[in-house]
Amino acid sequence: MLSSGLVRERVPVNNLRVADPAPARFDAPDDHITWQPAKLGQSWGGAQQWAWFAGEIDVPAHWPRGQVELRFKHEARYHVRPLDDHFPAGPEGQLFVDGARIGAIDLQHTQIAWDFEPGKTHELRGVFFAARCPCRHEWSACELLWVDPAAVKLFHDLRIVLEVVEQLEESSATHHRLIDAAEDAIQTLDVKDVLHPGAVGWVTPRDPSFSNLHRSIAAAQKALDRSEEHTSELQCPCNLVCRLLLE
């Protein structure tokens, strides 16, 4: 529930273009190459090949500054077995907005937060290395997201809670304090239509500080560092609530 409510609105990046293959480079691509119109789902890449990507980002005027992320994703398609020695070192690359580098993208990292200006059109460019091995990847996502930073932070905090609480003795005071803090944080959520099929909803914490939760997580992690043996308690009610929220 929480993961499905992290994004309030999303808009696609327009005027998608690609240069495939393209020369290797590590700064923003220029226009000395011939760009081809592109669309999501398009395949690209090859062994030891690079590709350039471009598009126009129209930021909605009503989106708040500081709550916008760019999602740029590829589906990897390798033409070799996963255990081959040269596998695969890609796809991976860097994104640029208005000529400024904003971050790196790979299979595990597909979103970048940046100070997009509401109501403005930004120029997006990207350079990507496909792989050392034969491949033909799929460009699967290129969109702008309006996210709630506090909800995103809580989402990752609850993931940590799940990892930590499963290693604590169920009868320990640290275990109970962490569960109580997680339940208190969950109670602050303001849910907007997320549970209604087809609705556009979101989840936002009414109190985004969560200082008690952070202190409890830190104390629990210290307790684990001092302990040599930990037991797993997977069916704790708090665990189940956290799992349902994170799905």
| Residue pLDDT, tens place only, 122-139 | 999 999 999 988 999 999
Q: Is 80 exceeded by the pLDDT of residue 194?
A: no
Q: Is 98 exposed, middle or buried (0-12, 13-18, 19+ CB in 10 A)?
A: middle
Nearest to 42 by CA among 71, 89, 15, 75: 75
Torsion of CA 141, 11, 60, 19, to 10 degrees: 40
pLDDT digits (tens, 9 = 90+) for 195-232: 554 444 566 776 666 777 778 778 777 877 776 444 44
pTM for this one?
0.75
Average pLDDT value for residue range 163-191: 82
What is the distance between the terminal CA atoms of the chain, rounded to a whole angstrom?
A: 6
Q: What angle separates helix 211-226 from helix 173-187, to the nearest 10 degrees?
A: 160
Please give the Cα distance from 103 to 117 (Å, whole number). Answer: 17
pLDDT, tens digit (0-9, with 9 covering 90-100), for 78-87? 988 766 656 6
